[in-house]
């Protein structure tokens, strides 16, 4: 049964991340869509979610506000969206509200709204300044790093800690994984999720030198045919575990 819903409440973004699958890839249909979801649309979506929850006797549903950047709604409109969702869904099932944001526009006033509606927000951060600024920049080319750290500092405050869901990090193999991880942990997130960049067979993801090979999922593997091996590497004065993917012989092609 469907228990998790993603509502794209704003179709624009205030950053110009070059790895974004919405704005920087082939599909540019976002340009013709409304900037923000109308409150009437939110109400209709909430009613349909509530109907589904009632029909299937669901005790809990999760709704995630997404974008674009949902904070572009502004404090008042965000409050209205959350109020509508609570009014339509909460009488039927326990409502778990979440939001994914780049954090650039997060303010104490918006945090007050999030806490009042019991929304937990995940913040996108790709690591230290060098790692984050590899992709997460403003359209002018300016860094977003300081603004994101300011948002995370807000969420660490005692009065807003309940709204802090964690950090979402998009993986880039050119970044130092230990430095990235340590930068994320320094923000004291309740959890960290790592996201692989969007890729296709026509546009495969970048990989370390010597490992790029178009191998169908489930084919090939390590030189022994077993699972990838984990190796230990040294970073500075401390030792960390880091996965090292073995490269096996080219896999056979599937027959037509």
Return the CA Rg of the chain. Answer: 21
Give yes or no for a contact between 14 and 102, defined as CB atoms under 8 angstroms apart: yes
Task: Give the tens place of pLDDT for each residue, 140-164.
Answer: 989 999 999 999 999 999 999 999 9
Q: Are 175 and 130 in contact (CB under 8 A)?
A: yes
Rounded to 10 degrees, the C-alpha dihedral 72/76/82/87 comes to -150
The most confident of the ranges 27-36, 183-192, 198-207 is: 183-192
Residues 163 and 225 in one domain: no
Domain count of the fold of the chain: 2
Same domain, yes or no: 148 and 27: yes
Angle between helices 145-156 and 108-116 in degrees, nearest 10: 50
215 Rama class: left (phi>0) / alpha (psi -120 to 50) / beta:
beta
Both 141 and 227 in one domain: the answer is no
192 & 226 share domain: no
Q: Looking at the whole model, is its pTM more than 0.85?
A: no
Banded model confidence at residue 212, pLDDT cuts 50, 70, 90: low
CA distance 191 to 201: 31
Helices (H), 56-173: 75-89, 108-116, 129-132, 145-156
Residue at 28 is within a domain: yes
Q: Mean pLDDT for the chain?
A: 82
- Range 82-101 burial, b when 16+ CB lie within 10 A, else e: bebbbebbeebbebbbbbbb
Residue 230 lies in a domain: yes
Residue 233 pairs in a beta bridge with: 240
Taken in order 222, 193, 14, 175, the sign of the CA dihedral is negative
198 and 246 assigned to the same domain? no
Among the residues of 90-245, which ranges form H helices?
Answer: 108-116, 129-132, 145-156, 177-185
pLDDT at 12: 87
pLDDT band, residue 233 (cuts 50/70/90) = very low
Q: Kindly state whether residues 121 and 92 are assigned to the same domain.
A: yes
Q: For residues 117 and 59, state if they share a domain.
A: yes
Domain range for 234:
218-250
Is there a domain that residue 238 lies in?
A: yes
Do 149 and 104 lie in a common domain?
yes
């Amino acid at each position: 049964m469907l228990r998790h819903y993603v509502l794209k409440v704003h179709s624009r973004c205030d950053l110009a991340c070059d790895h974004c699958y919405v704005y920087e890839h082939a599909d540019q249909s976002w340009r013709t869509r409304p900037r923000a979801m109308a409150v009437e649309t939110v109400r209709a979506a909430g009613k349909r979610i509530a109907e589904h929850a009632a029909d299937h006797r669901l005790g809990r549903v999760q709704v995630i506000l997404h974008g674009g950047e949902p904070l572009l709604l502004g404090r008042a409109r965000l409050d209205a969206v959350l109020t509508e969702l609570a009014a339509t869904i909460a009488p039927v099932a326990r409502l778990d509200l979440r939001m994914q944001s780049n954090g650039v526009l997060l303010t104490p006033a918006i945090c007050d709204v999030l806490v009042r509606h019991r929304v937990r927000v995940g913040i996108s951060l790709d690591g230290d300044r060098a790692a984050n600024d590899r992709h997460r920049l403003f359209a002018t080319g300016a860094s977003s790093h300081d603004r994101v750290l300011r948002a995370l500092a807000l969420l660490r405050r005692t009065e807003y800690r309940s709204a802090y869901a964690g950090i979402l990090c998009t993986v880039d193999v050119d970044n130092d994984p230990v430095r990235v991880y340590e930068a994320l942990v320094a923000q004291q997130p309740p959890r960290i999720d790592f996201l692989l960049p969007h890729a296709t067979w026509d546009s495969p993801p970048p990989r370390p030198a010597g490992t790029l090979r178009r191998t169908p999922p489930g084919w090939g593997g390590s030189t022994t045919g077993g699972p990838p091996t984990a190796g230990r590497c040294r970073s500075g004065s401390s030792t960390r575990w880091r996965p090292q993917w073995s490269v096996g012989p080219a896999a056979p092609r599937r027959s037509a």
